[in-house]
């Protein structure tokens, strides 16, 4: 007999039984569900809705179920639909009729909203740990590479020289913002929906605030309809997860490029690469590729839930049961990705010489030559045009700007003096960019220090 079976004359069709059951995936919420039920039962005991003895027997019954689930002694039933009714059914089997009092002044609608908030809060805390580990690793790598010269790109064409440290610090900024977004999501989700009931609250004088406090919430939801139908917190998490994956994916894409025979900027550790079943020479950056690939599924999770929610009339609708698989999948994916990317970065070998050589070619110092002229009073647009002609001249001869002699330079403009050669030296080009946020080693070092502080303040 179903827990809700009273008004039914026929049993649920076997196909429907399987179709609407969520226990296969929401059993993952057992801890949260039991924790919420215990707080609810204790509160009912305080109110006198349950006797002290009843509240205690419910509590210890739930405690036993928790232990048995943890030790794999419980077999969930598809027929009992979801984790909420599975736990309630087990409770009643174990402690008798008293178990049937647990659901007083509560609905699965506020119960599932509570469980999902508790789950996300805890898992976001785990994400914070993994993400801050990655940020720390990137900060350490940046520190190690403040003087590792490399070409910077726009349009994937060589643009201006920078350093690998500067490049890593770009990702640090992205991941710090991701951490901020998760922190913000956590703050907004941390209110208790218990007491919203099915959608119109309850006539029992529940101590909503006390239960919220006991469960570590900062407060309670302020509208019972919204309390059971809001999944913004899950969507905010999925959005933050999607943006985080996008950042990981861009970084991984660069590592795929950089480890190619064409770039040879980095060598992936053997432990983080795999081979080919036919081509004996192959060593593929699969880990980086897979992180890039898995980004798609997290975007999919976000879009699945956005689409589930978009047409729902207030308040709860069964469609919302679809929220959990998306959230779980995204959570698993970001955790696995963060876990594997951090050591992959640490283990990767950097070819400093190849990077430095790359920084030199491709006229990456052309802007500096134009700036040199502009500093001597030539209008920048004219300087740009003149250097453009110099680049054309050199590229026809397959040489760099630094390979021309002063005489040749002066043939283009009398403004050129011997100091031009210093101005277009690759190291100088980088060292001279000292503005906040720039690639000069001392500037990057300052930004590393600042970013360490920002990280420290962001962590909760
Ligand atoms: N398994 C449901 C879910 O995940 C729990 C809430 C069901 N409520 C209901 N009235 N059918 O959303």
Report the relative pairing of strands 219-220 and 191-192 from DSSP bridges: parallel
Pocket of ligand 1 (CB under 6 A): 22, 26, 82, 108-109, 112, 316, 318, 320-321
Higher pLDDT, 385 or 13: 385
Which two structure tokens, joined as six digits, stand for 267? 């060598």
Q: Tell me what the mean pLDDT of segment 376-399 comes to.
A: 97
Name, in order, each residue with C-beta under 8 angstroms of 123's C-beta and a sequence gap of 6 or more: 331, 335
Per-residue pLDDT reduced to its tens digit, 340-362: 999 999 999 999 999 999 999 89
Dump pLDDT digits (tens) for 79-125. 999 999 999 999 999 999 999 999 999 999 999 999 999 999 999 99
What is the pLDDT confidence band of residue 279, given thresholds at 50, 70 and 90?
A: confident
Report the C-alpha dihedral over residues 327, 332, 335, 341, rounded to 10 degrees.
-120
Beta bridge partners of 220: 192
CA of 386 from ligand 1 middle (Å) equals: 71
Backbone angles phi, psi at 302, to 5 degrees: -60, -50
Spatial CB neighbours of 287, under 8 Å, sequence gap ≥ 6: 252, 268, 272, 273, 340, 341, 344
pLDDT confidence of residue 2: 83
In the predicted model, what is the mean pLDDT of the chain? 97
337 is catalytic: no
- Which residues, listed in sequence order, are joined to residue 191 by a DSSP beta bridge? 219
Average pLDDT over residues 9-16: 89
- pLDDT given at position 325: 98
Alpha helix segments (H runs only) across 348-413: 352-360, 366-375, 380-396, 406-412
Residue among 155, 242, 445, 451 flagged as catalytic: 155
CATH 1.10.10.10 fits 109-142+163-349, yes or no: no
Q: What is the pLDDT of residue 14?
A: 87
Percent of the chain with pLDDT over 70: 100
Angle between helices 83-95 and 52-70 (to 10 degrees): 120
Reply yes or no on whether the pLDDT at 282 is more than 90: no
Residue 243 — very low, low, confident or very high, per pLDDT cuts 50/70/90? very high
Q: So what's the pLDDT on residue 4?
A: 86
The number of angstroms, rounded, from the C-alpha of 327 to the middle of its chain's C-alpha atoms is 12
Instruction: Tell me if 106 sits within 8 A of 221, measured CB to CB.
Output: no
The structure tokens listed for 372 are 């040199």
How much distance in Å is there from the Cα of 110 to the middle of ligand 1? 9
CB 84 within 8 A of CB 112: yes
Catalytic (active site) residue 276? yes
Whole-model pTM? 0.96
Enter the CATH code of domain 12-104. 1.10.275.10
Residue 445 CA from chain centroid, whole number? 26
In this prediction, residue 348 carries a pLDDT of: 97
Instruction: Compute the distance between CA of residue 86 and CA of residue 79 in angstroms, rounded to an integer.
Output: 9
Residue 34 reports pLDDT greater than 80: yes
177-186, 273-282, 367-376, 437-446: lowest mean pLDDT where?
273-282
Which one of the listed residues 24, 260, 276, 395 is annotated catalytic?
Answer: 276
Supply the pLDDT for residue 229: 98
The topology (CATH level 3) of 358-458 is Ribonucleotide Reductase Protein R1; domain 1 (1.10.40)
Asked if residue 1 has pLDDT above 80, the reply is: no
Residue 277: per-residue pLDDT = 87
Residue tagged 């006198």 (tokens): 48
> Distance (Å, rounded) from C-alpha 34 to C-alpha 236?
25
**Alpha carbon distance 352, 373 (integer Å):** 31
Say if residue 150's pLDDT is above 80: yes
Q: Name 155's Cβ contacts closer than 8 Å, sequence gap at least 6.
A: none
416, pLDDT greater than 90: yes
Kindly report the number of other CB atoms within 10 A of residue 236's CB atom. 18
Return the domain boundaries, the chain: 12-104, 109-142+163-349, 358-458
pLDDT > 90 in the chain, percent:
93
For residue 204, report the distance from its CA to the centre of ligand 1, in Å.
22
Classified as helix, coil or strand, 97 is: helix
With 90 as the cut, is the pLDDT of residue 443 above it? yes
Q: What is the largest CA-CA distance in the chain?
A: 101
Q: What is the mean pLDDT of residues 286-300?
A: 98
pLDDT, average across residues 438-447 = 98
């Amino acid at each position: 007999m179903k827990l809700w079976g009273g008004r039914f004359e026929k049993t649920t069709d076997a196909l429907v039984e399987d179709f609407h059951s969520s226990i296969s995936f929401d059993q993952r919420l057992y801890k949260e569900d039991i924790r919420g039920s215990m707080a609810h039962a204790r509160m009912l005991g305080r109110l006198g809705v349950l006797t002290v003895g009843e509240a205690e027997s419910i509590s210890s019954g739930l405690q036993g179920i928790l232990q048995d689930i943890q030790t794999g002694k419980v077999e969930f039933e598809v027929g009992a639909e979801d984790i909420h009714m599975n736990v309630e059914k087990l409770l009643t089997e174990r402690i008798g009729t008293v178990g049937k009092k647990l659901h007083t002044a509560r609905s699965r609608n506020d119960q599932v909203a509570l469980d999902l908030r508790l789950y996300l809060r805890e898992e976001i805390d785990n994400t914070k740990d993994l993400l801050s580990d990655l940020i720390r690793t990137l900060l350490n790598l940046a520190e190690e590479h403040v003087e590792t010269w490399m070409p910077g790109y726009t349009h994937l064409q060589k643009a201006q020289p920078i350093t690998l440290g500067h490049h890593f610090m770009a990702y640090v900024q992205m991941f710090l913002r991701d951490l901020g977004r998760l922190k913000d999501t956590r703050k907004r989700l941390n209110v208790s929906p218990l007491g919203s009931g099915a959608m119109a609250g309850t006539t029992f004088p529940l101590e909503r605030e006390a239960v919220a406090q006991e469960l570590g919430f900062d407060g309670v939801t302020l509208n019972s309809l919204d309390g059971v139908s809001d999944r913004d917190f899950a969507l905010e998490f999925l959005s933050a997860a999607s943006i985080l994956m996008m950042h990981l994916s861009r970084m991984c894409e660069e590592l795929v490029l950089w480890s190619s025979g064409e770039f040879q900027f980095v060598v992936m550790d053997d432990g983080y690469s795999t081979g080919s079943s036919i081509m004996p020479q192959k060593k593929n950056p699969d880990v980086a590729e897979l992180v890039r690939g898995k980004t798609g599924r997290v975007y999919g999770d976000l879009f699945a839930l956005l689409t589930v929610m978009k047409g729902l009339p207030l308040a709860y609708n069964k469609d919302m049961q679809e929220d959990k698989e998306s959230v779980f999948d995204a959570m698993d994916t970001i955790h696995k990705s963060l876990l594997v990317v951090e050591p992959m970065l640490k283990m990767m070998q950097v070819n400093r010489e190849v990077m430095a050589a790359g920084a030199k070619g491709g006229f990456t110092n052309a802007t500096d030559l134009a700036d040199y002229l502009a500093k001597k009073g030539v209008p920048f647009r004219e300087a740009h045009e003149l250097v453009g002609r110099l680049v054309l001249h050199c590229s026809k001869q397959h040489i760099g700007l630094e390979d021309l002699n002063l005489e040749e330079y002066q043939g283009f403009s009398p403004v050129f003096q011997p100091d031009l050669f210093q101005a277009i030296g690759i190291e100088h080009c980088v060292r001279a960019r000292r503005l906040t946020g720039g690639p000069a080693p001392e500037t990057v070092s300052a930004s590393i220090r600042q970013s360490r502080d920002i990280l420290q303040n962001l962590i909760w």
